[in-house]
Structure 1
Amino acid sequence: MAFLYASVGHGGASGYLAVMALFAIAPPLMKQTALLLNLGVSLMSFLAFYRQGYFRWTLFWPFALGSIPAAFLGARIPLTDSTYKQILGACLFLAVIRMVISLKEATQRSLPAVLGIFTGAAIGLLSGMIGIGGGIILSPLLLLFRWASLKEAAAVSALFIFVNSVSGLAGLKTWIPLDQSQLLYWLFASLVGGFLGARWGAGIASNAKVKWILALVLVIASLKLWFI
């Protein structure tokens, strides 16, 4: 998951949540764990795309200005398990759409700062509520509205995910004790995958076959969240 998501400028939270949903892990633990794993992967992805010159500060700051406080507030909004699962299921389907639809690049437009701030706030609120960094929502918007190229969107989304994950973790009302040995395995696996995926994705296109397999996993997890 980390390899695939880092290759397109994401931290992998929706993928981690999908796997945890398949194994019926409790939603509060899902949110906390996904945000922790997001941190290292999104940071490595950002650095890889930044070093290639794809990051644009003027595109990043309006979204971040709105999203950081909103993600903190979103993490503090209590959700019932059923509501959490329905919202997460919808976001996983959005992740599938993002992966399987190739958005063609076109002439870019400038981003109105006020629109970026309000859009970032909306994404940040939702991200904090369900425990993702928001990249699966932001990157399609950047491409659909022609605010960024494919790799610029990846660079901006990666840092956006990192700051939202930090804010979301800070906003959690309660921390659930984690199995430290198990978490270390997850962190190690995600960091290795994220490092390799970020380096690969910064210069090489994603593998279509693997993306279809990942999309299938997300669809299964979404259906499980909604109907089981």
Structure 2
Amino acid sequence: MTGWLLVAAVMTVAAVYASVGHAGATGYIAVMTLFGLEPEVIRPTALVLNVVVATIGSVQFARAGHFDRRLFLPLAAASVPAAAVGGWLTLPTAAFEMVLGVVLGFAAVRIGAEALGSGRAVSGGEPEPSSRLPEDALQRLAALVGIGGAVGLLSGLIGVGGGVFLTPLLLVLRAASIRTIAATSAAFILVNSLAGLAGGLVAGRTVPLPGLELVAAAALGGAIGSHLGAFRLPVTAIRLLMATVLAMASAKSLL
């Protein structure tokens, strides 16, 4: 019975997170902790499930025409080596997770308030935001590389794909439309998760493969959620879901 409850929880987490371009690592970590899995199993298992869901999400959002390689490539180029280094390192996480929880909670409140205040519940096109990134091409590139490197390192250190860091940053910076940010986050999470796994392997850690039932649950939830996010959900709903996901990640870090 417990096994099937875990499967159902993983599928639900995957669906909710994938709808906003995330893959669910923070949710999987919280769920597996509640079900009493060993800590050395939780981190690599969450990353493997991340790879499954982020792959599906990347394809879905790209199919819908929301992927922007000019935004993604500078972020990924810096994040991949940084995530590998983070995956290789071991860091005491208690104080870090406390700060992380507060930051994510603030981001959740801000994004949720903006969504409720805007009232832009449109299912079709959405207005392009006025970006806060530098207009100069080189300065913009440097800013994106810096963001990618910092997020990649943090992601590798705590064993997540980085969407919970990247999404609020890109939203605050108004780097792109909401669905383009979701598409960027999905692809970013995919490459970061792979880099984090590689860093762990280089450090000599084993990567226990999750059971097929967990992989199937994550894949099904990811397919449902990413389809809704890429094709169906209105912009305001996506923003509210993003706020919910960040609030869940904040609670996981603080509790």
For Structure 1 versus Structure 2, the TM-score category normalised by the shorter chain is 0.7 to 0.9
Q: In the alignment, is the contact (CA less than 8 A) between 2:20 and 2:241 conserved in 1? A: no
* Structure 1 residue 126: Cα displacement: 0.6
CA offsets 1:167-226 (integer angstroms, 9 cap, x no match): 000000233463x6x6222111111000010101112144899888867755553343xx
- Report the counterpart of residue 195 of structure 2 in structure 1: 167
- Report the counterpart of residue 108 of structure 1 in structure 2: 131
* Structure 1 residue 116: Cα displacement: 0.8
* Structure 1 residue 57: Cα displacement: 0.5
TM-score by length of 1: 0.83
Structure 2 distance, partners of 1:183, 1:196, is 20
Q: In the alignment, is the contact (CA less than 8 A) between 1:14 and 1:92 conserved in 2? A: no
- Report the counterpart of residue 192 of structure 1 in structure 2: 220
**Aligned counterpart in structure 2 of residue 117 of structure 1, from 141, 145, 149:** 145
Instruction: Give the counterpart letter for 2:93 in structure 1.
Output: Y
Instruction: Give the counterpart letter for 1:142 in structure 2.
Output: L
- Report the counterpart of residue 152 of structure 1 in structure 2: 180
**Aligned counterpart in structure 2 of residue 6 of structure 1, from 1, 4, 18:** 18
Q: Which structure is larger by alpha-carbon Rg, 1 or 2?
A: 2
* Structure 1 residue 43: Cα displacement: 1.2
Q: In the alignment, is the contact (CA less than 8 A) between 1:14 and 1:95 conserved in 2? A: no
Q: In the alignment, is the contact (CA less than 8 A) between 2:22 and 2:189 conserved in 1? A: yes
Structure 2 distance, partners of 1:213, 1:153, is 16
* Structure 1 residue 34: Cα displacement: 0.9
**Aligned counterpart in structure 1 of residue 163 of structure 2, from 124, 135, 142:** 135
Alpha-carbon distance change, 207 to 161 in structure 1, aligned in 2, over 3 angstroms: closer
Cα RMSD after superposing both structures: 2.7
Q: In the alignment, is the contact (CA less than 8 A) between 2:19 and 2:238 conserved in 1? A: no
* Structure 1 residue 46: Cα displacement: 1.2
* Structure 1 residue 31: Cα displacement: 1.4
Q: In the alignment, is the contact (CA less than 8 A) between 1:89 and 1:221 conserved in 2? A: no
Provide structure 1 residue ranges, at least 5 long, that are not aligned to the other structure: none
* Structure 1 residue 108: Cα displacement: 3.0
Q: In the alignment, is the contact (CA less than 8 A) between 1:21 and 1:221 conserved in 2? A: no
- Report the counterpart of residue 41 of structure 1 in structure 2: 53
Structure 2 distance, partners of 1:28, 1:133, is 17
Structure 2 distance, partners of 1:185, 1:85, is 32
Instruction: Give the counterpart letter for 1:154 in structure 2.
Output: A
Structure 2 distance, partners of 1:216, 1:145, is 20
Alpha-carbon distance change, 97 to 47 in structure 1, aligned in 2, over 3 angstroms: farther
Alpha-carbon distance change, 152 to 70 in structure 1, aligned in 2, over 3 angstroms: same
- Report the counterpart of residue 154 of structure 2 in structure 1: 126
Structure 2 distance, partners of 1:63, 1:208, is 22
Higher alpha-carbon deviation: 108-117 or 154-163: 108-117
* Structure 1 residue 98: Cα displacement: 4.8
- Report the counterpart of residue 87 of structure 1 in structure 2: 96
| Identity value in percent | 38
Q: In the alignment, is the contact (CA less than 8 A) between 2:229 and 2:238 conserved in 1? A: no
